[in-house]
Amino acid sequence: MGENSVEWNILMNPDYKLSRLPRIEVAEHPLRSFTVRERIPRKIIGSAPSTGRTTPVSTPVPSTDPLTMALKQLDPLSEFVMQEIDPLSKMAAEMDLCDGQFLKTASSRDSEENPFDKMESWTSRKARILSKYTTSEKLTIITSFLSEGEKVMVKTQSTAVDKVQHRLKQLDSFEEGSQQKLDLFQAEYISKIDQLNNELVSSWNTEQRVKALKIAIQCAKLLTDTDVLPFYPSKFVLITDILDTFGKLVYDRLRVKANYIKPGSKTPIPLPEDFTPGMVPDAAKETCLNWFYKIASIRELVPRLYVEIALLKSYNFISTNECVDSLTRITDMIHGIGNPLVAVYARCYLCKTGISVSNKNSDYGYLFGNFTGFLDSYQHLYSRCVKAELDAQHMPLSTYVTLYTPALDFILEAVACRANDSVLADMLNICKQYKNSSLILNTIMSGFKPTRIAERAMEFLETIIESSDDGIPLYVLLRTLGLCITVCPPPTDQRKQILNIVWKHVSSFIKPDEYIACAEAWVQFVVLHFSNREINTILGDIIDHMTPQRNYEKHYNELKIIIGTVVAHNQDFETLLIMDNFLPLVDLFQQESLRVEVCKNILTSTSSEFKTSDPVITNALMFLCSVLHDSVNALTPEDEYKQIGEILCSVIRRVDYGRDFEHQLNFYVEARGAFSNIDVVLAELVQTFNNLMGNQNMLVLISVNVNTWHYLHSSVIVNQIKQVNTLSVNTRQVIKGIHTRKSGDFVRACAAYCFITIPSIVAEKTRLELYLLSGQVALFNQCLGQADACFQAALALLPELEDVSAKSETFLVPYIRQFLSTLLVVPDNPERGVLNLLRNLLNVMAKLEWNKANCSLGILYVSCLDLLSAMAQEDYVYQVDKVESNDSLYGSDPKFIQEINALCSIIVREVLNLLKDLGICRRQSQIATELFLRVVVRGVSSKSMLVLAMNLWQLSMKHGYADVKYLERTRDYLKSRSIAQNNTNLQQLVDMLVI
pLDDT of res. 308: 93
**What percent of the chain stands above pLDDT 70?**
77
- Split at pLDDT 50, 70, 90, the class of 536 is very high
Dump the DSSP string for 625-671: HHHHHHT--TTS-HHHHHHHHHHHHHHHHHB--TT-HHHHHHHHHHH
Say how far apart CA 379 and CA 387 lie, in whole Å.
12
> Which H helix or E strand runs over 272?
none
pLDDT of residue 42: 37
Q: What is the per-residue pLDDT for 164?
A: 54
Q: What pLDDT, on a 0 to 100 scale, did the predictor assign at position 924?
A: 86
Q: Is the pLDDT of residue 6 over 60?
A: yes
**CA angle 800-803-804, nearest 5°?**
95
Cβ atoms of 403 and 341 within 8 Å: the answer is: yes
- DSSP-assigned letters across all residues of 428-458: HHHHHH-SS-HHHHHHHHHHS-HHHHHHTHH
464: pLDDT strictly greater than 60:
yes
Contacting residues for 785 by C-beta, under 8 A, at least 6 apart: none
Q: Are 358 and 315 in contact (CB under 8 A)?
A: no
Question: How many whole angstroms separate alpha carbon 191 and alpha carbon 972?
Answer: 87
What SS3 class is residue 150? Answer: coil
What is d(CA 293, CA 816) in angstroms, rounded to the nearest whole number? 92
* Cβ 675 vs Cβ 641: under 8 Å: no
Higher pLDDT, 720 or 917: 917
For residues 416 and 398, what is the distance between their CA atoms, to the nearest angstrom? 25
> Which range, 23-32, 163-172, 206-215, 954-963, has the best average confidence (pLDDT)?
206-215
Band (pLDDT 50/70/90 cuts) for residue 162 is low
- Tell which wins on pLDDT, 578 or 177: 578
DSSP labels for 19-87?
Answer: --------SS-TTSPPEEEEEEEEE-TT--SEEEEEEEEEEEPPP--HHHHHHTSPPHHHHHHHH---H
pLDDT for residue 562: 93
Which of 166-180, 587-601, 755-769 is the most confident on average? 587-601
Tens digit of each residue's pLDDT (9 = 90 or more) over 805-846: 445 678 888 999 999 999 999 998 888 888 889 999 999 888
**Residue 930, helix vs strand vs coil:** helix
Checking if the pLDDT of 33 tops 70, the result is no
Question: CB count, 10 Å around CB of 311?
Answer: 25
Which secondary structure element, helix H or strand E, spans residue 258, and what is its range?
none
Taking CA atoms, 61 is separated from 34, 35, 36, in Å, by: 7, 6, 6
Q: Would you say residue 264 has pLDDT above 70?
A: no
Q: Identify the DSSP state of 488.
A: S
Contact partners, residue 450, CB within 8 Å, separation at least 6 = 483, 484, 485, 487, 488
Kindly report which listed range (356-370, 680-694, 896-910) carries the lowest average pLDDT score: 680-694
In this model, does residue 525 exceed pLDDT 80? Answer: yes
880-903 tens-digit pLDDT = 888 888 888 888 788 888 888 889
- Written as one string, the DSSP assignment of 531-565 is -HHHHHHHHHHHHHHHTGGGGGGG-HHHHHHHHHH
Share of the chain above pLDDT 90, in %: 20
Q: How far apart are CA 195 and CA 457, in angstroms?
A: 49
Asked if residue 67 has pLDDT above 60, the reply is no
For the stretch 856-870, pLDDT in tens is: 888 899 899 888 888
Give the span between the Cα atoms of 585 and 579, in whole angstroms.
Answer: 10
Report yes or no: 729 and 777 within 8 Å, Cβ to Cβ.
yes
DSSP 706-772: GGGGGG--HHHHHHHHHHHHHHHHHHHHHTTT---HHHHHHHHHHHHHHHHHGGG-S-HHHHHHHHH
Three-state DSSP class for 315? helix
Report the C-alpha gap between 632 and 604 in whole angstroms.
18
Per-residue pLDDT at 715? 53
| CA–CA gap between residue 606 and residue 650 (Å, rounded) | 10
Mean pLDDT value across the chain: 77
Residue 170 — pLDDT band, cuts 50, 70, 90?
Answer: low
- Separation of alpha carbons 724 and 696, rounded Å: 16
The number of angstroms, rounded, from the C-alpha of 152 to the middle of its chain's C-alpha atoms is: 58
Span 273-281, average pLDDT: 80
Predicted pLDDT of residue 302: 93
Residue 426 DSSP SS3: helix
Phi–psi pair at 183, nearest 5 degrees: -110, 115
Beta bridge partners of 142: 181
Cα–Cα distance for residue pair 255/294, rounded to 1 Å: 19
Which of these ranges, 194-208, 308-322, 338-352, 945-959, has the smallest mean pLDDT?
945-959
Q: What is the DSSP letter of 873?
A: S
Q: Residue 808: what pLDDT?
A: 67
Residue 264 gets the label, from left (phi > 0), alpha (psi -120 to 50) or beta, of left
pLDDT of residue 735: 74
Give the count of beta carbons closer than 10 Å to the beta carbon of residue 576: 23
Query: What pLDDT does 499 receive?
Result: 93
Q: Which of 877, 820, 868 is nearest to 18 (CA)?
A: 877
pLDDT of amino acid 77: 40
Whether residue 331 has pLDDT greater than 70: yes
Provide the b/e sequence for 38-62 (b: ≥16 CB within 10 Å).
Answer: eeeeeeeeeeeeeeeeeeeeeeeee
Q: What is the pLDDT of residue 48?
A: 37
Q: How many Å apart are CA 16 and CA 443, to the nearest integer?
A: 86
Residue 342 scores a pLDDT above 90: yes
Report the candidate in 682, 755, 671 with the shortest Cα–Cα distance to residue 718.
682
Higher-scoring residue by pLDDT: 338, 16: 338
| Range from 230-239, 331-340, 753-762 carrying the lowest mean pLDDT | 753-762
Give the confidence band of 940 by pLDDT, cuts at 50, 70, 90: low
What's 819-845 look like in SS3?
Answer: HHHHHCCCCCCCCCCCCHHHHHHHHHH
The pLDDT, as a whole number, for residue 3 is 44
From CA 884, how far away is CA 735, in angstroms rounded?
19
Please tell me the distance from the alpha carbon of residue 253 to that of residue 288, in angstroms, as a whole number.
10
- β-pair partners for 141: 182
Helix H or strand E encompassing 260: strand 260-261
Cα gap 209→204, rounded to integer Å: 6
- Rounded distance, CA 309 to CA 289, Å? 15
Which residues contact residue 36 at a Cβ distance below 8 angstroms, ignoring those fewer than 6 apart? 58, 59, 60, 61
* Lowest mean per-residue pLDDT among 538-542, 628-632, 985-989: 985-989
- CA 880 to chain centroid, in Å, comes to 47
* Mean pLDDT, rounded, for 284-301: 89
Give the whole-angstrom CA distance, residue 308 versus residue 243: 10
Q: What are phi and psi of 939, to 5 degrees?
A: -140, 20
Tens digit of each residue's pLDDT (9 = 90 or more) over 228-263: 999 999 999 999 999 999 999 998 888 888 876 676
Residue 82 has pLDDT above 50, yes or no: no
Given a cut of 70, whether residue 445 has pLDDT beyond it is yes
Quote the CA–CA distance of 584 and 539 in Å, as a whole number: 9
pLDDT of residue 678: 75
pLDDT for 994: 78
Beta carbons within 10 angstroms of residue 436's beta carbon:
19
Q: What is the tens place of the pLDDT at every residue in 466-520?
A: 876 677 888 999 999 999 998 899 999 999 999 999 999 999 999 999 999 999 9
Q: Is the pLDDT of residue 523 over 60?
A: yes
Residue 615 CB contacts under 8 Å (≥ 6 apart), including other chains: none
> What is the C-alpha separation between 556 and 311, in angstroms, rounded?
48
- Report helix, strand or coil for 143: strand
59 phi and psi angles, rounded to 5 deg:
-130, 140
pLDDT of 345 over the 60 cut? yes
Residue 804 has pLDDT above 50, yes or no: no
Query: Would you say 668 and 723 are in contact if contact means Cβ atoms under 8 Å apart?
Result: yes
Contact 214, 150 (CB under 8 A): yes
